[in-house]
Structure 1
Amino acid sequence: MLNTPHPVRRRALLAAVATVALACAATLALAVPASAMEAVRCTGRPNSEDDPTAIMGDTQSRITFEATVGDGEGVSSLTLHVPDGTTFSTDDLAVTLLTGDDLMTRNELDYDVSVSGQDLTLDFAAPLEQAGHLNIIVYDVYFPVEGGDQQVGATYELADGSEHQIEGIPTIPVQGVSATEQISRWLEGQAWVQAWNSNRFLHLFFDPTMIVTSFPVVLNGFFMSIAVVAVAFPLAIPLALLLAVMRLSKFVVWRGIATTYVNFMRGTPLFLQIYVAFFGLPLAGISLPNFPLGVIVLMLNSGAYMCEVFRAGILAINKGQHEAARSLGMTSLQTMVYVVLPQMFRQVIPNLTNEFITLYKDSSLLAAVGIMELVMYARTIVASTGSITPYIVAAAFYLVITLPLSKVTRHLEDRVRGHRTRKHAQTAPALAGEKGGSDE
């Protein structure tokens, strides 16, 4: 080779490289199909009653898988790996080959099906040689209850025995099912629930499954109602005190302003006041968020009612208390702050509790202007289901607050009444002694 001319050595080297390249190409041609199968789509059937596009876990659905088949490819079997935790059935399995330019020609295929764990294998009676789309529909599919992106896997085998994997299969987004929905579905299968719901009245007003599903939704409105009242009620107390003092003032202007305000707020419906605030103020260029605006309206209305409670409590204090305080050198303001108001508050606590109950119930009127409180959440469910049960659930949330507070109110009234009785019993002998002494 040392004596061989340089051009000859170059041609020999090129020939050797070409031979190796042809051998590698032949090997790859045997290992890789002429036209590998590609995923076209992989979807689940939507099954949500609320969202027509959502796929819910633990709810009957189906999987539709479609992949391309090349001309002369010779696919002898295909295995679908159904996502872990997903149950499925092969009873109504649909397997077709879509052919033609528009893929509208459906060719039924002969195959044997076998299942091993989560793997569903189709062995075709004759290898698939015609170009088209292989369409597989798996029915009675129940995705995992917790939901998540579900990945379907697929592998296929050719007539020569080589196995290949289909890449790029899209995931199926599945929404999880809450614990309350699971309980509701369990109740639907109970014989006593079915017998209960067979009565139209019970089904409309006291459906056990609807009670379970609406409870967490209405609970959000309960928290909103409590938040509104928890802010509005404390703010209404100083407003009511100020109005009560103004109404008792000897200054005609203050007394007139307070009297006009109280009469107006007590003489017009709260519903009208809410509408004026939410629809009238924006027209005047005043715009506030719904929550603070709702708090302000309830505060202003409740303040007018509590004003009369405080005024009556102040007038109920014996005038001798005022005279005794003044004799000790106290000013009118000191007498009011240190003598009158402490005694007044003890007497009006039952009435204030009643006012809190009324304010809590009146918060339901805010549903008319879009604030998502108890009634608003319940009305949303009723509109979508046609069942009145969510309103009953909302009523239960009101009773959870009002019944215990009503009992507390009665207890406080008994204590106040008992205190007055004991005080009268203590002062009666003294008064009798004074009367007897004067007679002598």
Structure 2
Amino acid sequence: MNTSIPKASPLARLALAIALVLGLFAVGSLVVPGQAQALEVTQCTAAPNEDGGNQILGGAETRITWRGQAAEDESVSSIVLTMPEGLQFDADGVKVTGLDELDRVELNAQITIPGDGTMHIDFPEPAPAGLSFLVETYGATFPTEGGTFTVSTQITDADGTVSDLGPSSEIQVAGLSKSEQISSWLEGQEWVQAWNSNRFLHMFFDPTLIVTSIPSVAQGWVTALGIVIIAFPLAIVVGFLLALLRMSKLLPLRAIASLYVNIVRGTPMFLQIYIAFFGLPLLGVNVDNFALGCIVMALNSCAYLCEIFRAGIQSINKGQFEAARSLGMSAPQTMLSVIIPQAFRNVIPTMTNELITLYKDTSLLAAVGIMETVMYAKTITAATGNITPYIVAALFYLVVTLPMTAITRRMETGSTKKSSKKGKGLFGKSSSSDKGSWTPATDGTSTKLEVKQPDYF
């Protein structure tokens, strides 16, 4: 008689497998002893040391705060902190505090710095179990190049068991630029400290701030130059067209040009900037700040250039216009080939003065938030409470204005010498052919000097 063993159902086999796994886990828990809960690092941070910011900068002193919480049944006898590579710190700047909830516990910790980048904190007697440890390192300085840093922790409990807790959370440190490194070096120089001990010198000519302000203000200086490079050529074109309109025979054209020139020249540029930057958005017209700044500066400068060009054109002797017409040249040809080239040469010094004025007036754009020279200086001054950045900004203006002023003076001197030479005849006497000359009648009759504006159009 054959007997057969019934096969187990799939559900029964699954239950058997689960029971087997649970049994093995229970046996393993009896064989392998449970590890005691080690100290937990709850905080590892560095205090921001950026002036007016929240960054952690390398090369400048900061405070590193490390906090660890021991288990309820864990008594710690020593803590070894492996500090970030390149960190400069001293045992005198380390403070160790024990905290039992809100109560401070005196630990009498002995701190040693072997010089290998570690900090050894030893307790004469093991700390009470479950204690929280606070280690503050004052005057610590991260490497100037910055980077990402961690603090590794190793503890020894009362039984002599050593536990390696590994690295802490990362500390992001911003590197110092070359100017900031130089400034940091200057701060330690005795002559700089003596210089800054004088309140006036420190407030207006702080060497450390001069070094750090130059790169930032230079960015605004480039912006100001960009505005001038775009606005001045545009102002030349519009100003010249306005000058032609002001000399036109047509009354409406003269009236429109005169009205525009008088309004622009009769109102402050600061007011014009405010109208453009705050009035246009109210009308739904939104223009990029840089582009709008260029437009406002150009529209203001063209009114002054209009009068410069008009005076230059009217300074040309009317006889040259008539001579060109007698040679068969049309009025436009005469203007383009004869009158305008001479007029431009005559007004170059005055145009240069207007260019200098336009460059200096870019500082007014700081009032509407354009990051030009003054705006960068203003930002640094607000963060440091020192006027030195404004002095640096003034130097950037002088770098451009002083050479241009010297060039203008030389051009004016050269123009005067040429005019005096042209006005001299034989034996140094004034020539009767001098433009604009007038000779009274020699027959005793009275004469009347009549001055007429050249009729070019």
TM-score of Structure 1 vs Structure 2, range by shorter chain:
0.7 to 0.9
CA contact (8 A) 1:71 1:129 kept: no
Query: Does residue 263 of the first structure (1) align with residue 262 of the second (2)?
Result: yes
Instruction: Name the aligned partner's letter for residue 378 of structure 1.
Output: A
How far apart are 1:150 and its partner, in Å? 1.4
Query: Does residue 396 of the first structure (1) align with residue 398 of the second (2)?
Result: no
Q: What TM-score do you get using the length of structure 2 for normalisation?
A: 0.82
Partner residue, 1:315: 314
The 1:196–1:36 alpha-carbon spacing in structure 2 relative to 1, beyond 3 Å, is closer
| Structure-1 separation of matches of 2:25 and 2:215 | 71
Same amino acid, percent of matched pairs: 49
Which string of whole-angstrom CA distances, capped at 9 and with x for unpartnered residues, describes residues 346-388 of structure 1? 1111111111001111111112222222222222223333322
| Structure-2 separation of matches of 1:112 and 1:274 | 66
Which string of whole-angstrom CA distances, capped at 9 and with x for unpartnered residues, describes residues 398-434 of structure 1? 111110001111121223223333433479999679x
Q: Where in structure 1 are there 5+ consecutive unaligned residues?
A: 1-13, 434-440
The 1:241–1:111 alpha-carbon spacing in structure 2 relative to 1, beyond 3 Å, is closer
Partner residue, 1:188: 187
Instruction: Name the aligned partner's letter for residue 61 of structure 2.
Output: Q
Partner residue, 1:379: 378
Partner residue, 2:102: 104
The 1:23–1:159 alpha-carbon spacing in structure 2 relative to 1, beyond 3 Å, is farther
CA contact (8 A) 1:76 1:157 kept: yes
The 1:282–1:184 alpha-carbon spacing in structure 2 relative to 1, beyond 3 Å, is same
The 1:73–1:220 alpha-carbon spacing in structure 2 relative to 1, beyond 3 Å, is same
Give SS of 2:305's match. helix
Give SS of 1:33's match. coil
The residue correspondences of 1:323-362 to structure 2 (distance < 5 A) are 323-362=322-361
Comparing 175-184 and 365-374, the one that deviates more: 175-184
Partner residue, 2:151: 152
CA contact (8 A) 2:79 2:121 kept: yes
From the two aligned structures, give the one with the greater helix fraction. Answer: 1
How far apart are 1:193 and its partner, in Å? 2.8
| Structure-2 separation of matches of 1:393 and 1:405 | 19
Instruction: Name the aligned partner's letter for residue 230 of structure 1.
Output: I
The residue correspondences of 1:5-404 to structure 2 (distance < 5 A) are 26=31, 28-29=32-33, 33-51=35-53, 53-99=54-100, 103-116=101-114, 117-128=116-127, 130-158=129-157, 161-167=160-166, 169-404=168-403
Give SS of 1:109's match. coil
Instruction: Name the aligned partner's letter for residue 47 of structure 1.
Output: N
Provide the alpha-carbon RMSD of the alignment: 2.9
Instruction: Name the aligned partner's letter for residue 104 of structure 2.
Output: R
How far apart are 1:49 and its partner, in Å? 3.0
CA contact (8 A) 1:44 1:172 kept: yes
| Structure-2 separation of matches of 1:134 and 1:391 | 47
| Structure-1 separation of matches of 2:76 and 2:432 | 115
Instruction: Name the aligned partner's letter for residue 298 of structure 1.
Output: M
CA contact (8 A) 1:218 1:374 kept: yes
Instruction: Name the aligned partner's letter for residue 233 of structure 2.
Output: P
| Structure-2 separation of matches of 1:432 and 1:167 | 100
| Structure-1 separation of matches of 2:94 and 2:362 | 55
How far apart are 1:393 and its partner, in Å? 1.4
Q: Where in structure 2 are there 5+ consecutive unaligned residues?
A: 1-18, 434-457
Give SS of 1:55's match. coil
Instruction: Name the aligned partner's letter for residue 406 of structure 1.
Output: T
How far apart are 1:243 and its partner, in Å? 0.7
Q: What TM-score do you get using the length of structure 1 for normalisation?
A: 0.85
How far apart are 1:74 and its partner, in Å? 4.8
| Structure-1 separation of matches of 2:283 and 2:243 | 30
How far apart are 1:159 and its partner, in Å? 5.2
How far apart are 1:22 and its partner, in Å? 5.3
Instruction: Name the aligned partner's letter for residue 271 of structure 1.
Output: F
Comparing 247-256 and 419-428, the one that deviates more: 419-428
CA contact (8 A) 1:62 1:139 kept: yes
The 1:19–1:159 alpha-carbon spacing in structure 2 relative to 1, beyond 3 Å, is farther
Comparing 251-260 and 200-209, the one that deviates more: 200-209
Q: How many residues align?
A: 412
Which string of whole-angstrom CA distances, capped at 9 and with x for unpartnered residues, describes residues 148-207 of structure 1? 221111122345555332146211222323332332333333333333333333332222
Give SS of 2:92's match. coil
